[in-house]
Each structure stands twice: as structure tokens, then as C-alpha cells.
Chains A and B, each alone.
Chain A
Amino acid sequence: MSTTVTPPKKINRAGLEIASYKGGKTTLCAGCGHNAVSERLVEVFFEMGVHPWRVAKFSGIGCSSKSPAYFLNLAHGFNAVHGRAPAVGTGAMLANRHLIGVTVTGDGDTASIGLGQFNHMLRRNVPMIYIIEDNGVYGLTKGQFSATADLGSTLKTGVVNDLPALDCCLLGIELGATLVARSFSGDKKQLVAILKAAIAHKGLSVIDVISPCVTFNDHEGSTKSYGYMKEHDEPLHEVDFVPAYEEISVDYEEGSVHEVTLHDGSRLVLKKLGRDYNPTNKLDAIRTIHEAAASGQVVTGILYLNTQAKNFIELLNMVDEPLATLAESRVRPSRQALDEIMEELR
């Protein structure tokens, strides 16, 4: 018997090659930040060994919402209507609590037309991953400001935004999301670690990814450009994700890391950079975001994490099996039950 055979291609825990995680060919612009996010999603689902057919993808309308077609072709996807992905995703999760929900939307979807749905999804802490590919403009309609555009930033045409920006992470922390992160499509390592943590997290993960629009918002005066992010991205910590199935123990210098154990036993190791940041403190998180914004910096990393709160599915006290496929005997009461009710109404 031969002992070890080196596999020709890398196979993950699910026995799948990375090809099983690919999506269709992107139709977005070359250099669009969204494509990088799609690539990261392919990588993390492969590396985490998730069966792609356990994933359900959701999106609204816009450039970002096309993304679910560009990763995980073997997962069901639902490209819904503008701003309404939260409702569709919530409904699907009610029907099948075993699904791993991934929603990809944009700042138009989330911060304008779908703001109501976004806020209420936050309140419910619906267990899914909600990614905002945030570029501050409407791309498909050719470059109008979105509600996340910073005060004073300018369009290509020179038009100045004179309204304050809406911060989806602040809303997330305030209203009930239990993992809130901000990242940059250009920061491959950080984004991968955050996405993995989101897959392991049992509640709602809101990830605001600054994802520059190369066509309409990558110029001088934009605060969502590659150039601006390279200068103003201020990581709160170095994010390391240690999956439960990897028995790695690394010794960190005492006090140099914040470590949080996630629901599935995996660990989130946050190595301190300039400051001592504890992401489990809601008020600290909110203050940190405000302070950074005031000084023109964009703080990235795991902004907030709550592993204790119950998610929406748990609150509903549903049976363990998916409601979608319960047998008739479990969802249609007996003839006797109907007769009893009829008798009461006589």
C-alpha cells in the first residue's frame, strides 16, 4: 500500500476543488472593487469547506447586486428587487433554517431605497451574512451620489455632496447586528478573515466593504477611491481567523491580542495595532467610528461583535428541521382537531 499521494489539485474538507466555488464571468468594469469581493467569497467558502449548495445568495438591484452571479454557481441565488434583499433573505431563512445566507448589496440598495428593510433586518438579527459593496455612487445609472457619500466629497463632474453620509456600520451596531465589520476591497487578508468569521458567526454579520467604482468614483475628491482608502484606511487590529477544525495554537505576547471564540468553536484573534480595541463594547465601537470619521480616517476591522444575543430563528422557537419540507402529518392538523373547533363554534 502506498502511503501518501499528493493530490493533483487542492481539495478542501468537503472534498471539493476551488472550481466548485466559482461563479459566472463578471460583467462589471475591469478593476471594480466588487470583483475582488466576489473572489474573496470564492476563496473563503472553499477554504472553510462549506458545501456550496448549502448556501443561498441574495441581492437587490445595482452593480453590486449582480455579484451573486459571480461566485458560487452551485448555490441557489435570488436577485430580488431594489432594496428588498433583506425581506427575501429573511423569508428564505424562515423556510429553511439550515441555509447559509449571503446577501450582497450596495449602498443604494442598503442606505436609500432599502433602508427600512435594512434597519428591520438589523433589529431581527437574522442569521446571515450581509455585505454592502460600498462605493458612494450609483453605478448602473451612471454616477449619482448615494447616501453613503461623505459630506464634501465630489462627483467627477465637480458636484459637491452637501448632505451628511449615512454610516451602515453605525446603524448595524445601534440596531442589533451582532457582527459588524468594515473592510476595503483592496485589503485581501483582512477581508478574508472577516468573511470567515462571518461564516462562523451565528447571527447577522454586516460587512461594509469600501469597494471603489473605477468608472464613476475613483477620482480626486472622492472619499471612496482606491487612492483615498490607501491613505486613510486605519485598521483597528490585524484580524486572524482560526477555524475550529484547525488545531493551531500560537503563543501571542500577553496583552497583544483580543481573542473571541465564535459559536462553532473557531477563534477570532485580533492583534492589537496602535490601540487597544475591544469589539464587544458597543459604546466604544460607536465612539471609535465617530472619532475616526471626524479626523477623516476610515477605521476597518471587526468593529463590533456580540456572540451572546439570540438570533431571529432562535427567537421564533421553530422546529429543528426546515419548515419548507416538513411532512404533511406535521403541518396539517387532524380531522378530530377540526371537528373540535367546529363544535366550539356551534
Chain B
Amino acid sequence: MSTIEVTPAQAHPKELERRIVNDFSIQVATVNGSGSQTANTVLMRAIFQMGIPVSGKNLFPSNIAGLPTWFTIRTSKQGWIGRKKEIDFLVAMNPETAREDVMNLEGGAAVVYDEPLKLSELRPDLHFYPVPFDKLVAPVCPEAKLRKLVRNMIYDGVVAQLLGIEMEEVRKALVKQFGPRKAKAAELNWNAAQAGFDFAAKNLAKSDPFRVERMNATQGKIIIDGNSACALGCVFAGCAVVTWYPITPSSSMIEALVGYLKRLRIDKETGKATFAVVQAEDELAALGMAIGAGWAGARAMTATSGPGISLMAEFTGLGYYSEVPAVIFDVQRAGPSTGLPTRTMQGDILSTAVLSHGDTKHPLLLPSSPRECFTMASTAFDLAERFQTPVFVMTDLDLGMNNWMSDPFPYPSEPIRRGKVLSKEDLERLGGFARYKDVDGDGVGWRTLPGTDHPAAAYFCRGSGHNEKAQYSERPDDYVNNVDRLARKFESIRRAVPRPEVDLNDAASIGVICFGTSRYAVEESREQLRQEYGIETSYLRLRAFPFTEELGDFIDRHARIYVIEQNRDAQMLALMRMELEPEQIARLRSVRHYGGLPVDARSVTEEVIRQEEL
């Protein structure tokens, strides 16, 4: 081991004294398919278990194996869990990208790297830590074919030693990751981590300022990805029919859902399922089946992403016009067309709000966290059945596929409400009904389910023109009566959707509006604007479309309002233009971010400052 040379950064001699604690980001650069996911999750969990706020983002290619992938872990004592642009601590495992990864770092950053890559020659202003991974892996992993996977666990040990991550927490995280059934694999990986730790302790002299220190800021919290949270939400919402077509980044939602359903929704006495899951032939069929099931009275959902949303346009129009409940989760990725399948975007907002031909509009729910993924799943089914229409839950790849620190999910406080459904007894009493008649003044008619044991139960559901009695009609008065009622129904929906989260600041003349995952960058940016520029802001986070009155009130109170969103064309702002008054629209400004990576606070701050001309 005498050949190993530790090269402390020469340009920053004072950094040895400076300590940056619990406020930096680690990036691990590996090759897709090399099994680095486990090592990265363990690293993130170990920090989380030390009570330090942490977030993880996996930047991966649309590929099974071979292309580069980066995993970024951000620690933040202030609790900021949005993306941070700058990388402070790099683990360079991928020979293909190592040079570029190193060249992109800011001065003063640290680099753990695979020794043969000889990266230390590249720059004098970084802290380099060479590690002979191949030499270290051989003794701890006698089985050669497993070495590729186990190798990654070595960097967990090295990083733990350099940053001060407690090895006992690494061990706990490993055990959790592998579970009791794979104790042997956990042991193998633990030995590798230990080998990395021992190597670093013996051979690497710490020269960078980055450290973790135990805190108490993650007590009681859980770590979960948004797709799993949506899945759990569906299970507890009583969803019974799941029809889907695989597409990144939504597939893992259904995979999680199938797991939870099998665990929680098998009848104990009979061993039979209280659910049906069907992998459909395409997204058209996926939504078509959900609509068929919704029409027949089951809570039905599908999950997809942009290309699937485009295919679902036809059935969405049918669901809207024939008034059938369905819940569609759109885990948005970068479009248009195939776009960037593994990169995030809030890019389907405008097209989904008015999906399908003719006059259509649909409620969108806008979760920003795993907890909201869970609660809004129930909200979505409740709204869909109450208002007899397709409801979209707009998450994105960042939320859906990354692991997030979250408060535990609350058990649903309300009973499941199935909306206006007439039973056999109701029909007995009423003698009959008119399916599309607005008897209650809220634009929502009463429906019956097929199979209701009564001669007066039937009606004919159709996507063609119809009157109040669901009879075919081409009469202009019937048509207008019907679509005007649908517009009234949409106003009823407006009164029922989740209200925005608002933080009014009396000292602020500027308002910021965001939704979904953009909130993390925006919350942090507000702090930057306050501390660095003395700018106070008010804040509104949209949680649904159609917009509620809080939006107009918020805009009226501020001179300039920045709408932050992750797409090129300011889609949410375009929806606001459709609904707001001209003088309100005139106050709106747009901050957009659309490279495929999650928006970061610094980008928001810089753009607001630029537009403020400061």
C-alpha cells in the first residue's frame, strides 16, 4: 500500500481549519447497472439515521446497463431538501465520466476516486483521495462475479471514514436494506464497507472541510419515494381496479402498489383478492379499462407519464362527457414525444388540464411531497366519484422516483364516500331517475351501477350527444344544456379541491407561486432572497386546478408575482391566464427551469434578481 499517495489540495491551505458541517452534497458517479443503488441508499440512510436532514436524487440514463449514472446526496442542517447545484464531495467510480466530473467541480471540493483513474493530476485545487478498489474488494469477496456489486460498498466505508458517518449507522442501514432474508448478502457488503473504512483510516489524510455531525432533526421521519407513497395512498383509498401499461417513471408506482395490495388486500378467510390488477396492451386500454370499472362502480386507477397521457386523451374525453370516475397518476418526465424518459419536468400541466378534443377540462391535483402523494390519492378518488369525472394526480419523476424524507402518513380521517349512486331501494322509492339531470344544483346527476337489481336502474352511457335522460340527442338545446351543466359541475369541483398553501408576508411586495416539487427550490430561494438581497416575499403553493379564490386574492395583494415552474412554456401561468382578470395577469412573471434536472434554489434566486433588475 506504500504506492498510494494522498494529495491534499494545495490552493486552499486554510480549508483544513475550516469545517463545513451538515451542509454539503455528495455525488457518486457510477455506471448504470453496477449495483450502486444499494450503496447509495445505505449511505443516505446512515446520514438520515444520524438525525441529519438529507435528500437523495438519482440521475440515471434510459438504459439497462453501461451508461453513466449519478446519485447525489444533500445534507442540510437547515432542512433544505431541494437540489443543490454545486457538488462538494465527489465519488468518481465511472472511468467514462471521471475527468469531466472532476473538471466541473468548484475549487475546494473533495474527490474519492478509483486509483487507476489518476485523477489527481487534473487539478491542483481539489482534495483527492485515491482508493484501490480492486485490491480491496478481492479479499472481502472471494466470489469474483459478485465483486462488481460489492465493490461499491467500499466507497461507503471510505466516505463514512472521511466524513465522520458512524459505521454503526451504516451497518443498521445495510441490515434494513437487505432485510432478514438476505443476511448473508448484508454480511458480505458489511465486510466491504468495513474494508473501505479501515483503508481510509490507515491511508488517507483528511484535508477537506466537510463533516457530518449527529443532529436530532429526523426523529420520527420516514424515507420513501413518491411512487410508493401514491401506491400506499391508493391502497388506503379503497382502490379496487388497477389497469396500467409500463412506462418510466410511473412503473415503480404500480410495482409498489401490487406489493402493498398483495400484503394488505387479500381476504383472510378466502385467500382471495379484493382487487384486480391488469397490465393492459397500451395506455388506451389502460384508461379504457379503468373507465369501464369506474362506470361499473369500482374505484379504478391507472398510472402513466407524458406519452401515455397523449394516448389517454381519447378516453379522458369520454370519461368527461359520459361522466365516469377514474383516477390517473401522471408521473411527469421531460417531453415532448419520447423526450428524456429519465429526467424530470412539470411538462404535462397545460395539455392535461384540457386533455382531449372539444370543450373539456379536468381537475388536477398537485402533490409536492410523499405525504401529499398519499393523502391526495384519497382526495383524487373522492373527487372522481363525487363529481363523476376523471381526476389527474400530477407528480413528476423527481418526486416519484427519488427517496424523500417525510413525516409519517396520516390514516384517512374520513370514511370512503362513493358519491351520488342510487341503490335498488332508492329506485323503489323514486320509481326512476334521469341520469344527467341536475337535481341538486351542483351540476352532478345521480347514477346507478350496472347490475343493480331493479328494472328502473338502467341508463345508456355514451360519448355521443345526450339529453338529461341519457337518450341520444342532436338537439342544440339538449347539447347546450348538457355542456353548460358540465361547466357548472367544474365550478362545484373548484369549491372542493385542495386549497393552496399560503404564507403571506405583510412586508412583501413580491409574491412567489409554485407547485409540486418546485416548492423545495422556492422555499430555499425565499431564504436566499431575504438573507442575500433583503427581499421579503409572500408564498403560494398551488395544490390543485381549477384554481381557488386564494389565487386571485394573493395576486391582488402583490405588485409582482413570480410563477416558478419546471417547463419551457410557463404552462401553469398559461392556465392562470385562462382564468384570471387582465389586471391580475399583468402582474405575473415567469421563472422557468427545464433542463431535465430538478430546479434548484440558486437558479430561482438568480432569475428573480435578474427580473427585479437588482
Contact = CB atoms under 8 A, between A and B. Distances in A.
Answer whether A and B are interacting partners. Answer: yes
B408 A91 contact: no
Contacts, number: 232
A123 to B, nearest CB: 9
Given A84-B285, A319-B273, A69 B460 contact: yes
B297 A95 contact: yes
A200 B418 CA distance: 33
B31 to A, nearest CB: 29
Q: Name, among A77, A326, A332, the residue most crowded by chain B CB atoms within 10 Å (CB to CB).
A: A332
Please tell me the size bucket of the interface on A. 35 or more
Contacts of A322: 296-298, 451
Most chain B Cβ neighbours within 10 Å, of A91, A325, A342, A346: A91
Contacts of A317: 271-273
A180 B287 CA distance: 27
Nearest to B322: A78
B274 A319 contact: yes
Contacts of A254: none
Interface string A152-187: 000000000000000000000000000000000000
Contacts of B272: 317-320
B496 to A, nearest CB: 20
A323 interface: yes
A54 B235 CA distance: 29
Interface string B354-395: 000000000000000000000000000000000000000000
B224 A345 contact: yes
A80 B318 contact: yes
Nearest to A333: B264
Interface residues of B, number: 74
Contacts of A18: none
B328 interface: no
A96 B449 contact: yes
A345 B223 contact: yes
B453 interface: yes
Contact of A81 (B265, B293, B448, B463): B463
Interface in A47-87: 51-54, 56, 58, 68-69, 73-81, 84, 86-87
Interface in A89-142: 89-96, 98-99, 116-117, 119-120
B53 to A, nearest CB: 15
Nearest to A335: B411
A331 interface: yes
A126 to B, nearest CB: 10
B297 A325 contact: yes
B412 interface: yes
Contacts of B463: 79-81
Interface stretch (B188-196, B236-244, B332-340): B236-244
B458 A76 contact: yes
A99 B298 CA distance: 13
A294 interface: no
Given A323-B275, A326-B274, A332-B238, A88 B289 contact: yes
Contacts of A52: 455, 458
A330 interface: yes
Contacts of A76: 448-451, 457-461
Interface string B288-306: 1111111111111000000
Contacts of B318: 80-81
B478 to A, nearest CB: 16
Contacts of A77: 458-462
Given A330-B274, A332-B416, A20 B455 contact: yes
Contacts of B276: 94, 316, 318, 323
Contacts of A94: 241, 243, 276, 278, 289, 292-293, 296, 298
B454 interface: yes
B12 to A, nearest CB: 39
Given A96-B450, A326-B274, A331 B294 contact: no
A1 interface: no
Nearest to B449: A324
Contact of B314 (A73, A81, A325, A341): A81
B185 interface: no
B300 A333 contact: no
A84 B288 contact: yes
Nearest to A123: B281
A332 B412 CA distance: 9
Nearest to A319: B272
Given A319-B267, A332-B238, A117 B285 contact: yes
A2 to B, nearest CB: 29
A5 interface: no
Contacts of B221: 346
Contact of A324 (B223, B277, B297, B464): B297
A338 interface: yes
18 contacts: A53-B452, A76-B451, A76-B458, A87-B291, A87-B292, A90-B288, A93-B296, A94-B296, A99-B451, A117-B288, A120-B280, A317-B272, A317-B273, A319-B272, A325-B297, A331-B299, A339-B411, A346-B220
Interface of A: 20, 51-54, 56, 58, 68-69, 73-81, 84, 86-96, 98-99, 116-117, 119-120, 316-320, 322-326, 328, 330-333, 335, 337-339, 341-342, 345-346
Which 8 pairs, one residue from A and one from B, show the smallest C-beta to C-beta distance?
A91-B292, A87-B288, A324-B297, A95-B298, A91-B289, A95-B296, A76-B450, A331-B238
